[in-house]
Structure 1
Amino acid sequence: MDFKLTEEQLMLQETAGRLVRDVYGFEQREQYRQSTHGFSVPFMQQLGDLGLCAVPFAEAYGGYAGSGVDNMLIMTELGRGLCLEPYLHSVIFAGGLIAQLGSEAQKARLLPQVADASLQLAVAVDEPQGHYQLHDVQALAEPVDGGWKLNGRKSVIIGGQSAGLILVSARTSEGARDDNGISLFLLDPQACGVQRRVFDTVDGRKACDLFLEDVFVASAALLGEPGQALPALRYQQGRAIAAQCAEAIGSMEAACALTLDYLKTRQQFGQPIGKFQALQHRMVDMRIELDQATSMTLYAACVADQADSDERRRVLAAAKFIVSRASRFVADQGIQLHGGIGLTWEYMLSHHAKHLLMVARQFGDDDHHLQAYAKLMPAA
């Protein structure tokens, strides 16, 4: 298999990397983090102006019909800069759901806006009792004259505090935890009966919990057929997992570079601490974990856009397990090798470490994906 990047992919990688280097210094990131949105709206618009938000979408909707590898290249650079913008949740996850489930009218109206970054989306599929299970949906959607009435609660919606539309899963039929009966709706967060509780996540990003009380949505807000949204949710979450693995790779690369630089400059007993063999071995262990995670991330990117199958799900579960494990290891070892400075808020490594710990638990932790992988193994 040829893993060489094409000329177009190299240009895409350089464009994303140069933009992040020019805009996302540590001081600028802190200003973005403390802003009302929790990220830089102008930077998100730059991503749209440069065509980076259009990469995953078909040409008919203003996109470039990019592959999972193209998404990987962008997400790696965003992870390297520890960018706060909800590119993953708005463009790849939510945009993918609309592209898969939406009617032609819905796709023609929404996808060009996502592609040029004039519309930010969010996805509300998790609930407090769900524990990574997409089919554990207790939010209800009841048919009423002209549309649906939504009731329930959704939790930890990344980017939901600033989204123009939120994609909400709700049960329209069947019992709790049943695979059938789950539908997906386009929700205006300013609608009557919607409340958002905004909070900061452990890595400094903003998210919200969503409370729905007799919220009316029109029939045109339904994505796809009633009760048939779960396969698309699982498929698009798989694409999001592959992209998130790439984001983690960028962050781990930056954390390893910061740690190596610190070992070369920190003096102890009259010499750089990087000369001590024990610390060299720990640095090598970090790079080994990173290289293994990078290989699995590339594999996941190659299968992310393939048709759904047990093999695709196995690869994505394995990639998420290995990347989650590597993320925790690199974060822990980076802090250990730095000492106390590695935990300070004013130093970039602490933010990479917190983000890597967050990544290890989004879309399912390593235990969840190890169990999923085991279930998908062919019988002996």
Structure 2
Amino acid sequence: MDFALSEEQKQVQELITQFIAKDYPFDVREKLVKSEDGFSKEFWKTFGEFGLLAMPFSEGDGGFNGGPVDLMVILEAFGTGLIVEPYIPNIVLSGHLISKLGNDDQKKEILPKLLSGELQMSFAFTEPQSRFDLNDVTTTAKLDGDNYIVDGYKAVVMNGPASDKIIVSCRTSGGQLDEDGISLLIIDKDSKGLSSRDYSNVDGSKASEITLENVSVPKTNLIGDEGKSFKTISQVIDLATLAISAEAVGIMQKMNELTLEYTKTREQFGQTLSKFQALQHRMVDTFMVHEQTKSLLLMAAAKLNDNASDASKSISALKFQIGSAAKLIGEESIQLHGGMGVTEEMSIGHYFKRLTTIRTIFGNSDYHLKRYSSL
């Protein structure tokens, strides 16, 4: 199996690297995190002009026929620069749900605006009681004439504050834990009866708690067949898990680089920290763990790209490894920096916060170990 990137993928990688070096230094990122939106809409449209937003979609949907490997390349590069623009909520989650389940009218209305950076979307699928189980849905949608009446609550909706439209998983039939009976509806953020409580996460990203009370949604806003969305939701979450794992691998790489650079300049007992053999061993350990994790990432991306029968199992293996590797690399990086590592002024602490947050998004290590053993 050839794990080498194509020339086009190398060019995308280089494009993002140059953008980070020129336009996205750490101080710019910090200003964006503290802004109302939490990211730059100007930079988001720039990504659209670069073709990054359209990359993982088919030509029929206005994209460039990219796949999971291309997505991996983009998100890994984003991780090195700690990019806060909401690529996963918009493109990986919302965009792929529309691409896979949307009818021609829905695609024509939404995808061009989404891929140009004009439209902001999010996917509301988590509920307080569901933890990481995608089938645990209590939000209901009952058909009343030409409209669905939606009632329920969604938690940790990534990019919720900036969203114009939200895709909501609802139960149209069956019991709380049934896989059958889950449907997807596109709901405008300003719909009557929809309220949100917006907040910042520890890593600086924005999210919302969404409450839906007697929200009327036209049945034309249903994506796919009623009650048959669970399989597609699972596939898209697997893709998103690959994407956020790629971001984590990029973050680990950067944390190792920053830590190595710091130990080469910080002096203690008359010599730099990098001269101490015990610390050299610890840095070698974090380097090896990053390389092992990247190998799993490449395998999972290849299996997902080929629609292999064990693709989902490889995704859970990857996310389990991300959890343990993130803990080791994150903690060692902060330890080797000392107290400076957790100050606002140093970027290493912000990489640590994002990496720690990623450990639980789309399932933590315990969840994916259990899922791996069941597949």
TM-score range, shorter chain: over 0.9
Deviates more, 1:360-369 or 1:87-96: 87-96
* Identity score, percent: 39
The CA deviation at 1:140 is 0.6
Q: Tell me if structure 2 keeps the 8 A contact 1:57–1:115.
A: no
TM-score by length of 2: 0.98
Structure 2: stretches of 5+ with no match in the other structure? none
Give the distance between the partners of 1:161 and 1:308, measured in 2 at CA: 36
Q: Tell me if structure 2 keeps the 8 A contact 1:343–1:350.
A: yes
Equivalent position amino acid for 2:4 in 1: K
Question: Residue 35 of structure 1 corresponds to which residue in structure 2?
Answer: 35
Question: Residue 338 of structure 2 corresponds to which residue in structure 1?
Answer: 339
Q: 2:155 aligns to what SS in structure 1?
A: strand
Give the distance between the partners of 1:197 and 1:122, measured in 2 at CA: 15
Give the distance between the partners of 1:111 and 1:231, measured in 2 at CA: 22
Work out whether 1:288 is the aligned partner of 2:285.
Answer: no
Question: Residue 316 of structure 1 corresponds to which residue in structure 2?
Answer: 315
Give the distance between the partners of 1:16 and 1:92, measured in 2 at CA: 18
Partner deviation per Cα, 1:123-182 (whole Å, 9 max, x = no partner): 100000001000000101011121101110000011111011111001000011111100
Question: Residue 65 of structure 1 corresponds to which residue in structure 2?
Answer: 65
Q: Tell me if structure 1 keeps the 8 A contact 2:61–2:99.
A: no
Question: Residue 300 of structure 1 corresponds to which residue in structure 2?
Answer: 300
Deviates more, 1:100-109 or 1:244-253: 100-109
Partner deviation per Cα, 1:55-97 (whole Å, 9 max, x = no partner): 0111122210101111111101111110111101210111111
Question: Residue 350 of structure 2 corresponds to which residue in structure 1?
Answer: 351
Question: Residue 258 of structure 1 corresponds to which residue in structure 2?
Answer: 258
Q: 1:134-173, aligned counterparts within 5 Å?
A: 134-173=134-173
Question: Residue 372 of structure 2 corresponds to which residue in structure 1?
Answer: 373
Q: 1:211-230, aligned counterparts within 5 Å?
A: 211-230=211-230
Give the distance between the partners of 2:3 and 2:269, measured in 1 at CA: 45
Q: 1:108-187, aligned counterparts within 5 Å?
A: 108-187=108-187
Tell me the C-alpha RMSD between the 2 structures.
1.0
Change in 2 beyond 3 A, CA 1:221/1:308: farther
Give the distance between the partners of 1:212 and 1:18, measured in 2 at CA: 43
Equivalent position amino acid for 1:171 in 2: R
The CA deviation at 1:305 is 3.8
Question: Residue 46 of structure 1 corresponds to which residue in structure 2?
Answer: 46
Q: Tell me if structure 2 keeps the 8 A contact 1:161–1:206.
A: yes
Q: Tell me if structure 2 keeps the 8 A contact 1:113–1:119.
A: yes
The CA deviation at 1:303 is 2.1
Q: Tell me if structure 1 keeps the 8 A contact 2:316–2:372.
A: yes
TM-score by length of 1: 0.97
Q: Tell me if structure 2 keeps the 8 A contact 1:259–1:337.
A: yes
Q: 1:304 aligns to what SS in structure 2?
A: helix
Give the distance between the partners of 1:225 and 1:329, measured in 2 at CA: 44
Q: 2:162 aligns to what SS in structure 1?
A: coil
Give the distance between the partners of 1:17 and 1:74, measured in 2 at CA: 10
Work out whether 1:326 is the aligned partner of 2:325.
Answer: yes
Give the distance between the partners of 2:14 and 2:32, measured in 1 at CA: 23
Give the distance between the partners of 2:50 and 2:215, measured in 1 at CA: 37
Q: Tell me if structure 1 keeps the 8 A contact 2:57–2:67.
A: no
Structure 1: stretches of 5+ with no match in the other structure? none
Work out whether 1:267 is the aligned partner of 2:267.
Answer: yes
The CA deviation at 1:308 is 7.0
Give the distance between the partners of 1:211 and 1:117, measured in 2 at CA: 26
Give the distance between the partners of 2:327 and 2:218, measured in 1 at CA: 44
The CA deviation at 1:118 is 1.1
